[in-house]
Amino acid sequence: MRLLVARHGATQHNLDGRFTGQFDAPLSALGKRQAEALAARLAGQRFDAIVSSDLLRARQTAGCIAARCGQEVTLDPDLREVSMGAWEGRSVAEIRREEGALLAEIETDTTGEISYPQGESAAQLRARVLGALSRCQARHPQGYVLWVTHGGVISALLLHALGLSNERRWQFARGNTSLFEFEYLPAMVKILRANDTSHLELLSAAEDGERSQVI
């Protein structure tokens, strides 16, 4: 199976440096332009399935793509971002100032077992993403599938493909509407592309400067 994975377009939370997690934030005006640019790039591509996280920012991005490809979108809650619980909607700066010790523990956790307050851990996220991947492979063993999802989900796929442990999850750039592509073979996973945002080159320099890696 070949799996093309797209991160959603930017939200205001991304632009403001806030933790989003599973808070159901919509695309910002910039995010909508990014999603349309991605959709234009994929226009006419035929997928065996287009599967999206059920969170609004991913659904909006997937909807733009599906309209240009003439296909339907299937929603899968297991493609949601990691739950950040009580930190959702709060700024990274605020959390670092008020709960910096816990944030540092999460950022340096070598097991992936430390959860966000009232939320999930990296290990829990990885387990549900790999469950979704297994189901997808069973349904489309020779297919070409598009996932529209979130930065944390993309990191989990990369960790799995590279055989890395959970503390390495911070090493990957995952720009808004970036594309990643994987080929799942019997004995290995090939990474065919990563953090491909070339479709955003037509956006203005001002918009380019607004992009964020914050999830």
**3 state DSSP class of 15:** helix
State the pLDDT at residue 110: 86
State the pLDDT at residue 147: 99
Per-residue pLDDT of the chain (215 residues; tens, 9 = 90+): 999 999 999 999 999 999 999 999 999 999 999 999 999 999 999 999 999 999 999 999 999 999 999 999 999 999 999 999 999 999 999 999 999 999 999 999 988 999 999 999 999 999 999 999 999 999 999 999 999 999 999 999 999 999 998 888 889 999 999 999 999 999 999 999 999 999 999 776 445 455 555 44
Q: Which of 81, 120, 150, 199 is catalytic?
A: 81
**3 state DSSP class of 59:** helix
Q: Considering its fold, how many domains does the chain have in total?
A: 1
How far is Cα 34 from Cα 41, in angstroms, rounded to an integer? Answer: 11
Q: Which of 8, 13, 150, 199 is catalytic?
A: 8
Whether 213 is in a domain gets the answer no
8 in active site: yes
Domain of residue 149, CATH code: 3.40.50.1240
Which residue range(s) make up the domain with 142? 2-208
81 in active site: yes
Whether 214 is in a domain gets the answer no
**Which residue shows structure tokens 């989003």?**
20
Written as one letter, the residue type at 172 is: F
